[in-house]
Amino acid sequence: MSNKFLSLFLLSLACIVFGLSTLSAQNWNFVVEPDANFRISVPEGKETYRLNEVDHPVFGPLKIHHYTHVDTLSEKGDIVYTVFYTDYPEDMVHQDSVELLKEFFLVTAESAAYSVAGNLVYSDNIQNFHCPGYTFRVHYNQGNAVIRSRAYLCCSQLYILSVASTADGVSTENMFRFFDSFALIQDCKSVMGN
């Protein structure tokens, strides 16, 4: 009788352990936004979309789209994955304007730091799918939280990918999985009709 009880107990324990490990496994899904011309992989979690319309003093009326995915399954607190997307007037900002882009990206990074009362601690140029880009990191909340971002200007469209978490909250693997999965649905020539 005790062998049957022990076997049943061990089988039940194995099922519980397997069930718990399955619950904590991270599922990722591809999100495709045809109107915004991008696709990206995000962790399962709460998804929201928000549109802000602003009247910019230089660029005129702009629509800023916010696609947010909150990973609530992280052991180190919520991790927020965000894609910001804005169409800029073609004649004002173009990806071939190298000198203008340096200043444009730096101001973008500094504005991100300012918006959370943080400090820009790192920034550098990057290139992806023939679009100029910029990577930057902002520390805020007295250094207890961090936003890691990549910004790309493609076809006069600005995409900012961000991962926000506590300073030790996001795994490098998950951050790069998010960043590296970003892709345009159509290249600039297709979008611009060239």
**Taking 60 as the threshold, does the pLDDT of residue 53 lie above it?**
yes
The one-letter amino acid at 154: C
Q: Which two tokens stand for residue 172?
A: 């490098």
Convert the pLDDT of each residue in 67-107 to its tens digit: 999 988 777 778 999 999 998 887 776 666 667 888 889 99
Inter-residue contact 194 to 156 (CB < 8 Å): no
Report pLDDT for 191: 53
Q: What is the 3-state secondary structure (H, E, C) of 58-81?
A: CCEEEEEEEEEEEECCCCCCCEEE
d(CA 28, CA 45): 9
Task: Provide mean pLDDT across the span 9-17.
Answer: 34
Convert the pLDDT of each residue in 155-174 to its tens digit: 888 999 999 998 887 788 88
Report pLDDT for 96: 67
Task: Provide mean pLDDT across the span 120-146.
Answer: 90
Domain ranges of the chain: 28-192
Residue 150 φ/ψ, nearest 5 degrees: -130, 135
CATH number of 28-192: 1.20.1260, 3.30.70, 3.30.40, 3.40.1000?
Answer: 3.40.1000
